[in-house]
Amino acid sequence: MLLEATNISKTYGRKEAAVRALNNISLAIDRGESVAIVGKSGSGKSTLMHILAGLDRPSEGAVALDGRSLSNLPPTQLADVRNFAFGFVFQQFFLNGRDSVLENVELPLKIRGVEKSERTKAAMEALKQVELEDKADARAQDLSGGQKQRVAVARAIVTNPRVLFADEPTGNLDSKTGERIINLLFSLNKEHHIALVVVTHDEDLAKRCQRRLFLKDGSIVDSLDSL
């Protein structure tokens, strides 16, 4: 199993004021699988994604990548896991507007300490996959919303991740550009066998995933497999 969560719970605050954001959740994601985490705001879907992606730690239970628990890893090693194994796409893109498109895409490799020439090559390759290689030198802030999200996808896949986490990837886009991003994500999922974990309340997006997990008040209330 690629990514596996076992009985994870997350509690914020202490004692009487404690809020249980996640309640005893277990799930397993296979290589190349696509999973949608669906739920209303406050259902705990973002918290679940953060824990799966190693951005947050569960209060109870454990997350394992390739059977190796992430719970006991020191912060620096957890950061390395994020850099090497995971890619992130956010609703609000989070590009550095004043930097060039190329610099934005290179960022994870720069953090990893890859040589300039090598990371430029990889970044251009990733931009080609999102069909934005001609925008490499443009400033990120000059792009349209859809283009920005494609740059964010390029940044997420430039490291050849095992899992791509997408948090409401179409939330800030109109339906047409949103459709294009969705197609892009699923083609990457199919061609490169990158597991896709999508957090969304968009039913159309969720339906295209192999599996849909419905979250309510921190618990999985339903799980549906698409055909």
Partner 1 sequence: MKILDLLATANHNLLKNKLRTILTIVAIFIGALTLSLTNGLGSGAKGYINDQLQNIAPEDTMEVRRPFPQEAFGSLGDVSEYDPEGTESISPNTFFLTRDDLIAIEETEGVTSVTPVYQITTEYITRTGEGRYSIIVGQYIDEMQLALAAGELLAPQDDAGLILPKRYVEPLGLSSPEEAIGRTVTVGFLNGNEELVERDLSIRGIAEESLLGSFQAYASSDWVAQLHAVQTVNNPALALTFPAAFVRAEGANEEELAAVQERITAQGYAAQTVADQLGQVNNVLNVIQIGLNVFGAIALLAATFGIINTLLMAVYERTREIGLMKALGMHRRQIFLLFALEALSIGFWGGALGILASVGIGLIANTIASNTFLESFEGFDLLAFPIVSSLGILAIVMVVSFLAGVLPALRASRVNPIEALRYE
By C-beta, is 112 or 207 nearer to partner 1?
Answer: 112
Crossing angle of helices 116-129 and 101-112, rounded to 10°: 130
Residues found near partner 1 in the complex (CB under 8 A): 50, 55-56, 75-76, 79-84, 88, 90-92, 94, 96, 98, 107-108, 110-113
| Shortest distance in whole angstroms from residue 177 CB to partner 1 | 18
By C-beta, is 156 or 208 nearer to partner 1?
Answer: 156
By C-beta, is 208 or 218 nearer to partner 1?
Answer: 218
| Shortest distance in whole angstroms from residue 63 CB to partner 1 | 15
By C-beta, is 82 or 208 nearer to partner 1?
Answer: 82
